[in-house]
């Protein structure tokens, strides 16, 4: 059995105070997918590429953010969680039970993914 997860397309940014926020792409109206409990990382990436009509060579970063009550005391300074392997997807499917509205944030394109990775690694 799976769970419905909203897709949000855009870019994570970190301001000078270290707070993270996701800027949604204005031309994107949002979609939802069902992530099965046994979904693999490669399967999830393929599903999102198909749903968002992204080419196979387009870099993609998949992320999510825990609910506010789970990221105390740092709050918005807590970086988003990046999916990169099957175990990360498994954790997402278990943690989303604690989220009122599960959202998977998608960043795509070489420049945007590189900018996100740079911000994420510059703690």
Domain hosting residue 87, numbered range: 2-121
- pLDDT above 80 for 97: no
**Residue 72: which CATH number?**
3.10.20.90
* Model pLDDT, residue 105: 96
Average pLDDT score, the chain: 90
19: which residues sit within 8 A by CB, 6+ positions away?
75, 76, 77
Our count of domains for the chain comes to: 1
- pLDDT above 90 for 47: yes
Nearest Cα residue to 70 out of 35, 31, 96: 96
């Amino acid at each position: 059995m799976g769970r419905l997860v909203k897709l949000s397309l855009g870019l994570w940014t970190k301001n000078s105070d270290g707070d993270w926020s996701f800027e949604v792409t204005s031309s994107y109206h949002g979609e939802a997918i069902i992530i099965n409990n046994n979904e693999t990382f490669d399967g999830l990436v393929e599903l999102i590429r198909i749903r968002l009509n992204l080419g196979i060579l387009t870099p993609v970063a998949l992320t999510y953010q825990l609910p506010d009550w789970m990221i105390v005391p740092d709050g918005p300074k807590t970086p988003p969680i990046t999916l990169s392997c099957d175990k990360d997807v498994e954790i997402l499917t278990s943690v989303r039970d604690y989220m009122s509205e599960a959202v998977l944030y998608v960043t795509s394109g070489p420049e945007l993914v590189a900018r996100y990775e740079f911000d994420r690694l510059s703690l």
